[in-house]
Amino acid sequence: MMTVRHPAQRPCHATAAVAGLAVLVVAVLGGCASPVQVTSNPPGATAYVNDKPVGTTPTQVTLEGDKPVPVEFRLEGYFPESFVYQPGQNQGGITARLEPKTLTKTYDITSAPDGATLTLEGRQVGATPLSGLQVVYARDDKASPWREQTLVASKPNYQSENVVLGSGTTTVPKIELTLLKEDRVYNITAATPDGAELNADVALNGAMVGQTPLKLPVTFQRPNKSSAWPKFNLSVEVPAKYKPVAGVIDFARGTTIALKLQPIIEIATILTAPALVMTPTGVVFKAVQTSATGILSTRESAEIVTDLKPVTNFGRKDQKEAAATRAESINSFCVTPDGQHVIFALTEHDEQGGLYSNLFIKQADDAASGVARLTQGSRYWDTLPDIANDGSNYLVFASNRSDRNKPDIFRVSLIDNRLSGGISRLTNDTRFNFAPTYGDSNRQLFYLSTEPNFPLAESQVSSIRFDGSLPTQLPINASEINNTFAEKVFFVKLDEDSKKKQIYSITADGKLETALINQEDFRKSHCFNPAVSPDGTKVLLVSDHGVDEQGRHNNDIYLVNADGTNLQRLTQNGSDDIRPAWSPSEEGVVFFLSNRGGAYNIWRMKLSGGSK
C-alpha cells in the first residue's frame, strides 16, 4: 500500500518509541501520516483496504497521499459492504453499516385442539402448544425482502392449516383445526308406546345392521372443511308387527337414540284378479290389481254376526313366509252344494312373474284343513267358479284355456269333491264370455259377453243351455251377474244419474227390470256383488256406503230383502269385505272374501236370528 500524505500534515519521523500497529502501517506505507479510524455497525467486521486486511473493527489505518482506496468490510452472517474511500482534510473515519443475511424471531404456537404436529418449511419442529419456536428468515441480498416461511399444523382426522410467517409477524394467533373424520357409537333402543323393550330390526342406508338394543358404530368423514358432513338414513321396525320409524343420523345428533314404535294395525293389500278391460281398440282380458286397506284385527263389532272364522289362511304379503310363496290372492270362490267345501280361484305367479289362476277345493269349517287342486296349469286363468244346489253337480267357470286372448265358459262335473270326466267348453264364439252363474241346470246358464274390437262395447247379459244350444244375448248391459235363485237374474250396472254401481234384477226371461236398493243415500253409493238366498227372499250385497272407526268409506257386506226393504249392515271391520255367498245347506251362514288380517281369505260367519 502506498503511503498517502495530506498537504496539511506535518512530517514525522519513525522512532523506536513507536511500536505496534503504527510502526507496521508506517513501514508498509513508506511514510508517516495520521491514523484513520475504521468502524462498522455491528463491530467485529474484518476491514480490507486495497484488498488487504487491516484489522477487525473497530481499528485504525494510516493512509498516505490523497488517492482513493477501495475498502471492504466482511462479517459472518452479514452481506459484505465495499466502497472507495477518498482521503481528505477534515474527512471522518472509514465506517460502514452491515446488513444481516438472516433474521430470527421467536413465537409461541397454540392450536385448538392441542396436539397438532408443526412443520416449518417441511421440517417437523414440534407439537402444540409450543413455546419459543425460532424462525430464521433469509433474503437474497440486502435490498431484497425477507423470504416468508410456511408453518403447517396437522392432526389426524383434522384438516391441516397453513400459517404464513413473515418478518413483520410478531405473534401467531391460535390455529383452529377443523374436524374431518370422527368415529362414533350410537346407542339405539326401541320400545312400544307403553315402554316395553323391542328387538327391532335396524337398517342404515337400507342395509340391515342389527337389532335393538344396538351399539351402532358410525364414521363421519368429509373431504374438506367446506363440505357438509354426511347423513345416514336410519330405519327401525319390527317387520309385520310395528311400523318402521325412519330418521336421519347427522353430525349434530346425539349418540343416544330411543324410539317409540307404533303397532301396525292395518296394511295395504292387493287383490289380483282377471277382468275384462276396455281399451281404445276394444276389450282385453288381463289381470287387474286393486289395492285396499286391510285391518289386522279380525274382530267384527256388528251384533248380528256370530261365529266368525276364516276358511282359508293365506298369509300377509309383508311377512317373509308369505312373500316366499307364489300365491298372490284368492280372486273368486263359490260354495259346494253340501255347504261343506269352498271352491276358490287362486292367482299365482310363475318364476318369470307371469300371472295365472287355478281352481282349488277345501273344507269350509277348518282353515287348517288341506287344499286340493282341481285344475292345473300356468298358462291360463281358471276363475269365477259357480255351482248350483240343483243336484247336477255342474261346476262352471270362466277360462282362457282354449284361447289365451279371451275367456269362455267351461263346464265340468264335480263328484265327491273331485273333477269327473273332461272339461267341456260351453261358449265358442268370438265374444269375450265371462262370469257364469246358474240356479237350475235344466233351464239356462247366464253369463256376461262382450263384443271384441269395439271400443264402445259393454258387457251384456247372455244365456246358454247346458246342452250347448245357441246362446241368447239380452239387451241389458251389466258388469256383474248372479242367478243363484233360478227365477231371477240380479246384475250390476252404473246408475245413469249418480254414476254409481247399482243392483237390478230381471226375471229369467229377461223382463221386469227392477232396482233393488230404494234408499236415496245408498243410491249415491256403490252397491254391487249381489248374492241371492236359496229361497230368493234375501240378497247379500256389498256397498261402500258405511265408514269405519276412522271415518273412512270401505266395502262392507249388507243384507236386504229381495223387495228392497230392511237394508242392514252386516260387517263393520273397516277391511275390504266383498263377494258374499250363502251357504246352500246351513241357515243364516254366509261366506265372503275379506282382507281382514292383512290378506285376502274366505271367511265364514253366522247371522244371529238366521236367514236362508
User: Which of 610, 612, 596 lies closest to 301 in space, CA to CA?
Assistant: 596
Predicted pLDDT at 27? 37
Q: What domains sit in the chain, N to C, each tagged with a CATH number?
A: 20-97 (2.60.40), 102-179 (2.60.40), 184-260 (2.60.40), 270-607 (2.120.10.30)
Sheet holding 394-399, edge to edge: 382-387, 394-399, 408-415, 418-425
- Residue 450 in this model has a pLDDT that exceeds 50: yes
Closest by alpha carbon to 570, among 532, 605, 526, 530?
A: 605
**What is residue 612's predicted lDDT score, i.e. its pLDDT?**
42
For range 300-314, the mean pLDDT: 92
The mean per-residue pLDDT over the stretch 289-310 comes to 93
Residue 477 banded pLDDT, cuts 50, 70, 90 = very high
Whether 29 has a pLDDT exceeding 80, the answer reads no
The model carries a pTM of 0.73
| pLDDT above 70 (res 611) | no
pLDDT, residue 20, reads: 36
Give the whole-angstrom CA distance, residue 395 versus residue 389.
11
Q: Is the model's pLDDT at 17 over the cut of 60?
A: no
Closest CA to 275 of 259, 286, 290, 262: 286
pLDDT-derived band at 199 (thresholds 50, 70, 90) equals: very high
Kindly report, residue by residue over 327-350, the tens digit of the pLDDT: 999 999 999 999 999 999 999 999
Burial environment of residue 74 by CB neighbours within 10 A (0 to 12, 13 to 18, 19 or more): middle
Main-chain dihedrals φ then ψ at residue 523, nearest 5 degrees: -65, -15
Per residue in 56-92, pLDDT tens?
A: 999 999 988 889 999 999 999 999 999 999 887 656 8
User: Has residue 608 got a pLDDT over 60?
Assistant: yes
Residue 549 has pLDDT above 90, yes or no: no
Question: Does residue 427 contact residue 464 with C-beta atoms inside 8 Å?
Answer: yes
**Average pLDDT value for residue range 202-227:** 97
Model pLDDT for residues 386-433, shown as the tens digit of each residue: 999 999 999 999 999 999 999 999 999 999 999 999 999 999 999 999
Whether the pLDDT of residue 248 is over 60: the answer is: yes
Residue in the block written with cell 269349517: 365
Q: Per-residue confidence at 32, pLDDT binned at 50, 70, 90?
A: low
